[in-house]
Amino acid sequence: MKDFFKVIDPDKVLEYVSLFQSVETEEILLEDTQCRILAENIIADSDLPPFPRSTMDGYAVCASSTFGASDENPAYINIAGQIAMGKSPFFTVKDGEAARISTGGMLPDGADSVIMIEHTEVLDEQTIEIYKSIAPGHNVIEKGEDFLKGSIILPKGRKIRPQETGLLAAFGKEKVKVYKKPVISIISTGDEVVPVSQIPVSGQIRDINSYTLSNQVKEAGGIPLTFGIVKDNYKNLYDICSNALLRSDMVLISGGSSVGVRDFTIEVLSDLPDSEIIVHGISISPGKPTILARSGKKAVWGIPGHVVSAMVVFTAVVKPFIEKISGNTSANIIPAISAKLTRNIASAQGRTDYVRVRLIEKDGVVLAEPVLGKSGLINTMIRADGLIKIGKNTEGLLKDTMVDVIIQ
């Protein structure tokens, strides 16, 4: 199997995401929903707001009572009453009348707008002057203006942010059905890799990828499950990979994805139960020797051992798969910042290049300064704020080109 190596476009790799199903669901408390993914449509069981309410402190009036009012020609309005917060008004406002109201108060019948208190003056207990003409609906949120009863207020697959949590609270959702966080196994391979607690001797390197990939998994909404370091041994890798598949929803194997003499990843993945090698080689730099396999209904990745290559591959192709099985319907939306390139960048046609850049602000303009270096140098990622993607049909980018920077 070691001679099997045929690169395909990264966009084609992303099409295979449809082969894998979402994880199971669970019900959790509202206060625990931050960054979770909704597993059902949330339907409004009432109008929001359930009544017309004021957005200002002032007076609820019929807008027609204010027509023509100005500083030179104020309108004189009778006070019909005062609206207590949290109470339904017990009276009706007629033309030429007003009711004292606070922000959030319920408009009485007959009123269709609110005049700000700053545009009025109290003459006595029964009369105010109004110095501004307003239109119907002014400073008012109508019943159901936010959401109408029966409408979908939040769709299945939406990532829950603080604002979604607030909306769920507004509709009394104490518990919410969400997708479980997928468990992602991480296996580091290589005779040269040693634990972080060990001082490397000549030819050895500490295990970096277990930690960088774990944090990337967390940022993608998953739960990392690390299996430590596996030496270049077929049986050990097969046994640990089999165990990882039983205990998780996806497996990442760091190292051993190329075609070297002691790279067993492709053989192990081929021999796993109900397995299929879907991809071995992606036209991406860095990260060409990447494997995507399927064992049963779960994805298994063989990604490069070089830390930068592994991180770039994760961002470019692995993360969308994690987001997909998490139930996230916005998995293909990658947050980016627009910036101006500070220098020319060369790129080879036929592959997608991911270039590390540092963001700088100068004279109010955000600049993207390329951080060049070999894929094995972690300092290039430390100095970078994000990545820019150069498509396979592009022969590099020119200085001053506006680019989208994928924040890392």
For residue 151, pLDDT over 70 is answered with yes
Question: Residue 132: pLDDT above 70?
Answer: yes
pLDDT value for 278: 95
**In sequence order, which residues have a C-beta less than 8 Å from that of residue 240 and are 6 or more positions away?**
187, 227, 230
Average pLDDT over residues 251-280: 83
pLDDT at 331 over 80: no
**Confidence check: pLDDT of 288 > 70:** yes
pLDDT of residue 35: 93
Question: Tens digit of pLDDT for each residue in 35-55?
Answer: 999 999 999 999 999 999 999
Indicate the fold that domain 336-407 takes in CATH.
Beta-clip (2.40.340)
- Residue pair 107/113 in contact (Cβ under 8 Å)? The answer is no
Q: What is the pLDDT, as a whole number, of residue 263? A: 67
pLDDT of 307 above 50: yes
Average pLDDT of the chain? 92
Is 10-24+180-325 a CATH 3.40.980.10 domain?
Answer: yes
Segment 158-182 shows an average pLDDT of 96
> What pLDDT score was predicted for residue 318?
97
* Amino acid (one-letter) located at 350: G
The rounded distance, in Å, linking the Cα atoms of 41 and 156 is: 5
CB 363 within 8 A of CB 326: no
pLDDT score recorded for residue 301: 96
Q: Where are the beta strands (DSSP E) in 272-371?
A: 275-280, 284-285, 291-295, 298-303, 336-341, 352-362, 365-370
C-alpha 55/C-alpha 223 separation (Å) is 43
Q: 3-state DSSP call for residue 402? A: strand
pLDDT band at 336 (very low <50, low <70, confident <90, very high): confident
* Positions of CATH 2.40.340.10 in the chain: 336-407
**Residue ranges, CATH 3.90.105.10, the chain:** 25-48+145-179
pLDDT at 240: 96
Domain over 25-48+145-179 is classified CATH 3.30.465.10: no
Instruction: Tell me what the mean pLDDT of segment 24-39 comes to.
Output: 97
Helix (H) or strand (E) holding 251: strand 250-254
pLDDT at 21: 93
Of the candidates 310, 288, 24, 305, the one whose C-alpha atom is nearest the C-alpha of residue 181 is 24
Indicate whether this model's pTM tops 0.95: no
Who contacts 153 (Cβ-Cβ below 8 Å, separation ≥6)?
42, 43, 44, 48, 147, 167, 171
Ranges for all domains in the chain classified under CATH 2.170.190.11: 53-141
Element at 122 (helix H, strand E): strand 120-124
Q: How confident is the model at residue 3 (pLDDT cuts 50, 70, 90)?
A: very low
User: Around Cβ 308, how many Cβ atoms within 10 Å?
Assistant: 23
CATH architecture label of 53-141: Beta Complex (2.170)
Of the ranges 168-172, 184-188, 257-261, which one carries the lowest mean pLDDT score?
257-261
